[in-house]
Amino acid sequence: MILMRFGEQKTIREIARDLARSEGAVKQLQLRGLQNLRARLGDPNG
């Protein structure tokens, strides 16, 4: 999902359509995915 959003530059609406999910669900997936990446990679500002 993160690759679709940032790699392929798809909108939330496009991703929701492709994954057969609601836009709200895709937003939650994006939030959790970014939080997971931050936790694994560390904070670049600190």
- For 7-46, the pLDDT digits (tens) are 999 999 999 999 999 999 999 999 999 999 999 998 777 6
Q: Is residue 11 part of a domain?
A: yes
Please, are residues 4 and 10 in contact by the beta-carbon 8 Å criterion?
yes
Contact 25, 16 (CB under 8 A): yes
d(CA 32, CA 26): 10
User: Structural domain tally of the chain?
Assistant: 1
Is residue 46 one of the residues assigned to a domain? no
pLDDT at 33: 95
How many whole angstroms separate alpha carbon 20 and alpha carbon 46? 38
Identify whether 29 is part of a domain: yes
Please name the amino acid found at residue 31: L
Q: Tell me, what's the pLDDT at 46?
A: 64
Q: Which domain holds residue 32?
A: 2-41
Q: Is residue 16 part of a domain?
A: yes
The verdict on residue 25 lying in a domain is: yes
Q: What is the pLDDT of residue 12?
A: 98
